[in-house]
């Protein structure tokens, strides 16, 4: 029997109506969207599990903080409150605000890299790799091998493989190797955490070689929860202590605050004091792309809501309710033999579309079609994280055919109830029961960059080409 989630440490004060349109209308909506869940109108979606990004519900303290927003163009008091919160929660004293995560990635890679530089990461994220490559960097995936095996129940599938790092370093030739990037709760691996033990080892390795270690701390609080509950020696530490310990083993970080920042928009770059030089470069450049260095694309009120969100997210009771809710969905599906990424990650449940639709070739986009079918079945919106997201290899022009072909059911924070979760599981089980009849897809329109956002498809049997 699936284990019920831990009770939430909050109750609901305001509700937002949602509606389920008929199956016939869902079919029409799906065709209009070219079988791409990114192109559905939210009014046609019943339960929206497209992303956990910017979709959280704010607390009453955050809504109150909005009212304190100082909208001064320069030197806003909200900015100083945000800097204070980042220093308290993560221990980084130097902050450059940005409107969201990819803006921080843009500035970071543009200013930290030179063309031809090698950058290893514990798996890729779409926008991260794109900005890294735009800056002329060469991305390498050095995550541990278990991360590519959906059946492996290793507790820390977000770990970096030091041997792969060392090997890459030995083979670097004339190329520069200035920075290693690690992301907590690795998104594309299924929301899988790294252990503090692994991070410390990588940090030590980087220090010995004079290489910087930067973190993408987008889902750091959820990783801290897994460290507390899974890693020996951390049971008695608070979430905040663990967060500080993670960040102490880095030179700096960036965050898409739309996830663990518990806000609808926001992001930042943050540095330890020895990174003053890179901080100053980023602070100079932020005015070109984002806004003055004391708001960087966020309104004053957004910065205040984020400052409060960073304090809210340190609550163990909140994180436990959040993650056990995700685990509940995982076990309801697992009980019905639906192929999943194991163990359950932090921000969502990832379906193994390659196994779910095993009769399809990866170039028939099984994950893209499965996401479309889940919408048709229950009005539930999910996201492809497979061959479409991975794009084409710039050298060969062929689909990258990544090892993981997944559908992500991402759970917004503090938004859906237990019955929504049960409803979702039932709809997916019905899709699984009729899986043999589900055909593959082909492109009818393929954008050149980050194609998954706007691509259009039709079932392989359709005439359009
Ligand atoms: N890094 C990670 C690990 C992310 O998951 C995201 C966004 C970003 C950076 C970029 O941040 O969206 O604020 O510009 N992930 C979203 C998602 C889009 O749905 O997983 P952003």
Q: Give distance in angstroms: CA of 25 to centre of ligand 1.
A: 31
Mutate to test the pocket of ligand 1, among 121, 125, 384 (most ligand atoms within 8 A of CB): 125
Q: What is the pLDDT of residue 464?
A: 55
Instruction: Copy the structure tokens of residue 56.
Output: 């959280």
Q: Give distance in angstroms: CA of 259 to centre of ligand 1.
A: 8
Say whether pLDDT at 319 is over 60: yes
Q: Give distance in angstroms: CA of 53 to centre of ligand 1.
A: 7
Q: How many C-beta atoms lie closer than 10 Å to residue 125's C-beta?
A: 22
Q: What is the pLDDT of residue 167?
A: 98
Q: Whose CA is closest to atom 8 on ligand 1? A: 101
Q: Which residue has the higher pLDDT, 409 or 188?
A: 409
Contact 159, 141 (CB under 8 A): no
Mean local confidence (pLDDT), 173-196: 96
Q: Give distance in angstroms: CA of 52 to centre of ligand 1.
A: 9
Q: What is the pLDDT of residue 462?
A: 77
pLDDT digits (tens, 9 = 90+) for 17-35: 999 999 999 999 999 999 9
pTM of the model: 0.95
Q: Whose CA is closest to atom 16 on ligand 1? A: 53
Write out the CATH class of domain 60-312.
Answer: alpha beta
Residue ranges of alpha helices (H) inside 254-365 are: 276-289, 300-312, 316-335, 353-356
Mean local confidence (pLDDT), 92-100: 98
Q: What is the pLDDT of residue 461?
A: 82
Contact 83, 120 (CB under 8 A): no
Q: Whose CA is closest to atom 19 on ligand 1? A: 51
Choose the catalytic residue: 44, 48, 52, 216.
216
Q: At what angle do helices 77-90 and 300-312 cross, to 10 degrees?
A: 20
Atom of ligand 1 nearest to the CA of 267: 13
Q: Whose CA is closest to atom 18 on ligand 1? A: 53
The domain made up of 23-52+316-459 has a fold known as 3.90.1150
Domain locations along the chain: 23-52+316-459, 60-312
Say whether pLDDT at 274 is over 80: yes
* CA–CA distances in Å: residue 206 to residues 125, 182, 315, 370, 395: 21, 12, 31, 41, 30
Q: How confident is the model at residue 221 (pLDDT cuts 50, 70, 90)?
A: very high
Residue 98 forms beta bridges with which residues? 267
Q: Give distance in angstroms: CA of 396 to centre of ligand 1.
A: 27
Q: Give distance in angstroms: CA of 22 to centre of ligand 1.
A: 32
* CA–CA distances in Å: residue 264 to residues 18, 84, 85: 19, 20, 18
Helix (H, G, I), strand (E, B) or coil at 123: coil
Atom of ligand 1 nearest to the CA of 256: 13
Say whether pLDDT at 330 is over 60: yes
Q: How many C-beta atoms lie closer than 10 Å to residue 75's C-beta?
A: 12
Contact 400, 391 (CB under 8 A): yes
User: Which residue shows structure tokens 């997916």?
Assistant: 428
Is 125 a known active-site residue? yes
Residue 453 is given by DSSP the state: G
Q: Taking all residues of the chain, what is their mean pLDDT, rounded to a whole number?
A: 97
Same fold, 23-52+316-459 and 60-312: no
pLDDT digits (tens, 9 = 90+) for 51-81: 999 999 999 999 999 999 999 999 999 999 9
Choose the catalytic residue: 102, 219, 228, 385.
385
Burial letters for 152-172: b for 16+ Cβ neighbours within 10 Å, e otherwise?
eeeebbbbbbeebbeebbeee
Mutate to test the pocket of ligand 1, among 50, 107, 217, 256 (most ligand atoms within 8 A of CB): 256
Is 73 a known active-site residue? yes
Q: How many C-beta atoms lie closer than 10 Å to residue 3's C-beta?
A: 9
Residue 458 forms beta bridges with which residues? 442
* CA–CA distances in Å: residue 216 to residues 42, 250, 260: 29, 10, 12
* d(C-alpha 457, C-alpha 465), whole Å: 10
Residue 63 is given by DSSP the state: H
* CA–CA distances in Å: residue 399 to residues 388, 403, 412: 8, 12, 30
Instruction: Copy the structure tokens of residue 218.
Output: 């987008």
Mean local confidence (pLDDT), 32-41: 98
User: What percent of the chain stands above pLDDT 70?
Assistant: 99
Choose the catalytic residue: 109, 295, 356, 452.
452
DSSP string spanning 31-48? Answer: HHTTT-GGGS-GGG-SEE
pLDDT digits (tens, 9 = 90+) for 351-410: 999 999 999 999 999 999 999 999 999 999 999 999 999 999 989 999 999 999 999 999
Choose the catalytic residue: 73, 207, 363, 453.
73
Q: How many C-beta atoms lie closer than 10 Å to residue 38's C-beta?
A: 16
Instruction: Give the chain's count of helices (H) and strands (E).
Output: 16, 14
Pocket of ligand 1 (CB under 6 A): 51, 53, 100-102, 125, 127-128, 183, 187, 216, 218, 256, 258, 267
Mutate to test the pocket of ligand 1, among 54, 97, 187 (most ligand atoms within 8 A of CB): 187
Mean local confidence (pLDDT), 216-226: 98
- CA nearest neighbour of 214 among 74, 356, 112, 323: 112
Contact 139, 129 (CB under 8 A): yes
Q: Give distance in angstroms: CA of 56 to centre of ligand 1.
A: 14
């Amino acid at each position: 029997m699936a284990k019920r989630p831990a009770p939430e440490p909050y109750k609901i004060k305001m509700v937002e109506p949602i509606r389920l349109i008929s199956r016939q209308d869902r079919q029409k909506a799906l065709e209009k969207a070219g079988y791409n869940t990114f192109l559905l109108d939210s009014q046609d979606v019943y339960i929206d599990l497209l992303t956990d990004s910017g979709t959280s519900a704010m607390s009453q303290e955050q809504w109150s903080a909005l009212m304190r927003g100082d909208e001064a163009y320069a030197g806003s008091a909200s900015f100083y409150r945000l800097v204070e919160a980042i220093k308290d929660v993560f221990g980084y004293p130097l902050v450059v605000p940005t409107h969201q995560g990819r803006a921080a990635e843009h500035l970071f890679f543009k200013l930290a890299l030179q063309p031809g530089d090698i950058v290893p990461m514990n798996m890729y994220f779409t926008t991260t790799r794109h900005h890294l490559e735009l800056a002329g960097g060469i991305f390498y995936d050095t995550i541990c091998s278990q991360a590519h095996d959906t059946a492996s129940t290793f507790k820390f599938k977000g770990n970096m493989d030091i041997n792969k790092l060392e090997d890459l370093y030995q083979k670097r030739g004339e190329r520069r190797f200035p920075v290693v990037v690690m992301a907590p709760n690795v998104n594309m691996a299924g929301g899988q955490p790294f252990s503090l033990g692994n991070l410390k080892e990588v940090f030590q390795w980087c220090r010995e070689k004079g290489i910087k270690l930067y973190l993408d701390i987008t889902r750091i609080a959820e990783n801290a929860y897994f460290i507390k509950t899974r890693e020996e020696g951390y049971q008695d530490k608070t979430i905040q202590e663990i967060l500080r310990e993670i960040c102490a083993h880095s030179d700096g970080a960036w965050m898409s605050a739309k996830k663990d920042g518990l806000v609808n928009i926001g992001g930042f770059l943050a540095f330890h004091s020895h990174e003053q030089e890179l901080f100053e470069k980023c602070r100079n450049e932020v005015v070109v792309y984002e806004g003055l260095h004391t708001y960087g694309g966020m309104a004053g009120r957004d910065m205040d809501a984020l400052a409060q969100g960073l304090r809210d997210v340190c609550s163990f009771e909140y994180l436990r309710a959040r993650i056990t809710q995700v685990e509940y969905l995982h076990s309801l599906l697992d009980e019905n033999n639906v192929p999943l990424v194991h163990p359950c990650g932090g921000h969502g449940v990832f379906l193994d579309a390659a196994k779910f639709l095993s009769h399809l070739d990866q170039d028939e986009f099984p994950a893209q079609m499965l996401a479309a079918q889940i919408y048709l079945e229950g009005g539930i919106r999910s996201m492809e994280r497979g061959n479409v997201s991975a794009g084409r290899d710039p050298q060969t022009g062929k689909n990258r055919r990544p090892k993981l072909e997944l559908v992500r059911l991402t759970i917004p924070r503090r938004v859906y109830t237990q019955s929504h979760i049960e409803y979702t599981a039932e709809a997916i089980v019905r899709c699984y029961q009729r899986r043999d009849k589900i055909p593959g897809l082909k492109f009818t329109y393929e954008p050149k960059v980050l194609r998954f956002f706007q691509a259009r498809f039709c079932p392989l049997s359709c005439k359009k080409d």
